[in-house]
């Protein structure tokens, strides 16, 4: 993707990323630095906090109506302990994509949404091996849910990227 002139800082950035994400679930930020090693088990795909909060990293796809590819949010979703355990049991299993979707709560504050994105209801569908789970937001009037259903423009992608870069 070619560079773009940022409306926020006035600089030209080298590229317009089509994938952004949250490195950790929101709850992680509330854990004091000196306690994280004892209280958090974090991998690139899963996180358990205090042995009672269970998170999985997935993809929220936003179709781009005037582009070739979807914009992708990498976001954390909380799952029940039972659904988290089930997803872990199937993590390396062929055919895991046939598993029913799990209910979850979005646990990533994604920039560019004035109403916030934490605690939006979702369903999480496991995908074939090698693919991150797919997150589908409940069909509400939340701006992110509307964008997932109806798509966004490349101009909106740029707005999202600017919000992420300059929060």
Domain extents in the chain: 18-150
**Longest CA pairwise span in the chain (Å):** 48
Give yes or no for residue 20 having a pLDDT over 60: yes
Average pLDDT over every residue of 35-61: 98
Average pLDDT over every residue of 41-51: 97
d(CA 58, CA 89): 17
Angle at 10 between CA 7 and CA 12, to 5 degrees: 100
- At 35 the three-state DSSP class reads helix
Q: What are phi and psi of 122, to 5 degrees?
A: -140, 170
pLDDT of 54: 99
What is the band of 167 on the pLDDT scale with cuts at 50, 70, 90? low
d(CA 92, CA 22): 24
Percentage of residues of the chain with pLDDT beyond 70: 96
Which string of DSSP letters, residue by residue, matches 128-166?
STTSPPEEEE-SSS-HHHHHHHH-B-HHHHHHHHHHHHH
**Tens of pLDDT, residues 92-122:** 999 999 999 999 999 999 999 989 999 999 9
| Arithmetic mean of pLDDT over the chain | 94
pLDDT of 46: 97
Give yes or no for residue 55 having a pLDDT over 70: yes
């Amino acid at each position: 993707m070619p560079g773009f002139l940022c409306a926020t800082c006035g600089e030209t950035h080298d590229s317009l990323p089509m994938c952004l994400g949250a490195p950790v679930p929101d709850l992680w930020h509330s854990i004091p630095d000196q306690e994280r090693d004892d209280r958090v088990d974090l991998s690139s795909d899963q996180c358990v906090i205090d042995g009672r909060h269970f998170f999985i990293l997935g993809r929220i796809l936003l179709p781009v109506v005037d582009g070739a590819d979807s914009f992708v949010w990498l976001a954390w979703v909380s799952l029940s302990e039972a659904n988290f355990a089930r997803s872990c049991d199937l993590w390396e299993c062929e055919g895991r994509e046939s598993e029913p979707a799990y209910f979850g709560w979005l646990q990533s504050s994604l920039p560019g949404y004035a109403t916030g994105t934490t605690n939006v209801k979702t369903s999480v569908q496991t995908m074939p091996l090698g693919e991150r789970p797919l997150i589908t937001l409940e069909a509400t009037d939340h701006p992110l849910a509307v964008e997932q259903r109806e798509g966004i423009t490349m101009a909106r992608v740029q707005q999202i990227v600017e919000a992420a870069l300059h929060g």
